[in-house]
Structure 1
Amino acid sequence: MKRLLLAATAAAGLLLSSASAWSADKLLNASYDVARELFVEINKAYVAEHPGVTIDQSHAGTSKQARSIVEGLAADVVTFNQVTDIDFLVKNGLVSDDWQKDFANNASPFYSLPSFLVRAGNPKNIKDWDDLVRDDVQVIFPNPKTSGNARYTYLAATAFAKEKFNNDDAKVKEFITKIFDHVPVFDTGGRAATTTFVERELGDVLITFESETYGVRKEFGEGNFEQVTPSVSLLAEFPVAIVDKVADANGSRDLAKSYLEFLYSPAGQKIEAVNGLRVHDEAVKAEFKANFPEVRLVTVEDVFGGWDKVQEEHFASGGLLDQIYGNR
């Protein structure tokens, strides 16, 4: 099936030392796991406007992608789904520390949110985060250690629990632990989790980006799956950046900048909206308004005090995620 079998076209072993094989008419975009279909369309449209240009893709969980780039994956640009993974590249000298000033909306051309996908008829009557802790519900989402997608799920569920339990840390931790206990398998990335839910038919609910729930229903039929938007979710920005060290070595900086700017253009924004992503262009937003249910979105800054604090308290070694994830 196209959505589940589409492979990345760039080899993960491509090394920085091979930069001489590149030219200014070629880019490698390292992106998040469930963005394959999106960038097939984006790249086709961009190349149509820029004949002679080649855009190669690499897809995996963004934390894994960031580590691969540090280890030598020669990506000219990254289109990630989590700020902390680009900050990891900053700390390793690959991306400038003011990267969010290079493009609009803090370098996030589009956004999404953790949403639910259930089977036809919603047999377990799953409506909100509360339902995920019921003993009769199995939950599917990927490993937060390797997937930015899953980290947003973890943070969105935590934000809900903080409201529900009035910031009682013990009750919040117990709530999130119960959700994790109901996950039968932790895949490494969002697309593998989709495969587990759709093809292997494990679980009662898949938690993933709204854009992925939209794509699954579009491909496999709206009669087979239903999208459920929870009462509150977390704003999931999709940051982009030029990998300065690679782009400068390859002489591809101008092309990299042009490519990422295309994501903000009306043509790019329409492709993104068609693929279930929420965009900033007002005309495109109005055109696709009916596709996006109303939802109250909270932010990492408002709930958790920003990404630096999230990294320190939740995602660092020994942090809250480690305590909850345990030996799973």
Structure 2
Amino acid sequence: MSRLIRDFLLGLVVAGAVAASVPAFAESSLLNVSYDVARDFYKDYNPMFQKHWKAKTGEAVELKQSHAGSSKQVRAVADGLEADVVTMNQASDVDFLVEKGLVIKDYAKKFPNNASPYTSTMVFIVRKGNPKALQDWPDLVKPGVQVILPHPKSTGNGRYSYLAAWGFALKQPGGNDKTAQEFVSKLLRNAPLFAAGGRDATTTFMQRKIGDVLISFESEAELIAKEFGKGEFDVVYPSLSILTEFPVAIVEKVVDKRGTRKLAQEYLDYLWSKEGQENAAQNYLRPRDAELLKKFAAQFPAIKTFTVDEVFGGWPKAYPAHFKDGGTFDQIYQSK
């Protein structure tokens, strides 16, 4: 062996030994897979948490986000997208991951408030001045009214809109499942299209100028105001709507594989901190903290609501009855 080659190989061995002896200082990372309209909330929340984590542990953390329609997101996680945590807008999506063995069955007991750190409700966003005088659910089924909403089979926003209308009809005098299905059928016939997600529905209504009314989360209405200005639309609170909850969970197999359980737990726990709850209120989500809800009472008008548990017996019953293949949505849509 020539001296040149021998010296080169020796250099590689020494370099490898030095590299092996140097501790790694790469920052930890976490992927939060979330629903479509949560972008702004986590855009504000993540820097707050990074500051909190740095102060507590001395460690920097890289936080990554993924946003799309809720059902699309959980399918991606089930198919291998390595989310450390999921922050969704309804329990049925997290339940899907429970069925796949990725989230523990009693995830809702691992955090306060059924693992939902804040709430919202479904409201009507109408053109400025409300030219079609849309005040309550019956106005949305009138001939000539175009209703914009995301797809009820693939988005949490769409499912909540569908169930809100169904629950309203069910609670009217003489209301039953037959009258509710007829009412929702009329509503869906007034939808010229189904958007791919909550933010897509907003774009369709606000930028493409399609539709007379957008059904969406109360929080989305205020985010629209930030982007387009309050003078571009009005918000109408119906006489009755649905309480929307936003469950969070740790993806067990991923955190065990990546060694991020402690980080994931802290990331979700911090949603209930004073700072996390204040951030919810500032993003127009109703905080669970009673003091903060009182502080921000002016931006959260009183509205009568019902829950999925109260009217539909919970998501384990509501989802298969209405949104699985052959359920009432398919029955309505096929006859649309």
Give the TM-score normalised by the residue count of structure 2.
0.89
Match in the other structure for 1:207:
215
1:235-255 deviations in Å (ceiling 9; x for gaps): 110000000111111100100
Q: In 2, distance between residues paired with 1:187 and 1:269?
A: 30
Secondary structure of the structure 1 residue equivalent to 2:64: strand
Higher helix share: 2
User: What amino acid maps onto 1:318 in structure 2?
Assistant: G
Superposed displacement of residue 78, structure 1 = 0.4
- Contact 2:148 / 2:213 at 8 angstroms: preserved in 1? yes
Secondary structure of the structure 2 residue equivalent to 1:141: strand
- Contact 1:165 / 1:172 at 8 angstroms: preserved in 2? no
User: Pairwise mapping of residues 89-128 of structure 1 onto structure 2 (< 5 A)?
Assistant: 89-128=97-136
Q: Which moved more, 1:159-168 or 1:177-186?
A: 159-168
Q: Which blocks of at least 5 consecutive residues in structure 1 are unaligned?
A: 1-22
Match in the other structure for 2:180:
172
Q: Which moved more, 1:169-178 or 1:259-268?
A: 169-178
Q: Which moved more, 1:161-170 or 1:31-40?
A: 161-170
Q: Which has the larger radius of gyration?
A: 2
Match in the other structure for 1:190:
198
Match in the other structure for 2:11:
none
Greater than 3 Å deviation, 4+ residue runs: none
User: Pairwise mapping of residues 55-134 of structure 1 onto structure 2 (< 5 A)?
Assistant: 55-134=63-142
Q: Which moved more, 1:43-52 or 1:273-282?
A: 43-52
Superposed displacement of residue 121, structure 1 = 0.5
Match in the other structure for 1:42:
45
Superposed displacement of residue 24, structure 1 = 7.7
User: What amino acid maps onto 1:234 in structure 2?
Assistant: I
1:86-140 deviations in Å (ceiling 9; x for gaps): 0000000100001001100000000111111111101111111111001121000
Query: Which residue, 312, 318, 321 being the options, matches 1:313?
Result: 321
Q: Which moved more, 1:47-56 or 1:104-113?
A: 47-56
Secondary structure of the structure 2 residue equivalent to 1:276: coil
- Contact 2:27 / 2:62 at 8 angstroms: preserved in 1? no
Q: In 1, distance between residues paired with 2:74 and 2:260?
A: 19
Secondary structure of the structure 1 residue equivalent to 2:234: strand
Q: In 2, distance between residues paired with 1:50 and 1:173?
A: 49
Give the TM-score normalised by the residue count of structure 1.
0.91
Match in the other structure for 2:14:
none
Please tell me the root mean square deviation across aligned C-alpha atoms, in Å: 1.3
Q: Which blocks of at least 5 consecutive residues in structure 2 are unaligned?
A: 1-25, 55-59
Q: Which moved more, 1:282-291 or 1:200-209?
A: 282-291
Q: In 2, distance between residues paired with 1:141 and 1:326?
A: 18
Superposed displacement of residue 327, structure 1 = 7.5
Match in the other structure for 2:29:
26
Count the aligned residue pairs. Answer: 306
Q: In 1, distance between residues paired with 2:140 and 2:192?
A: 13
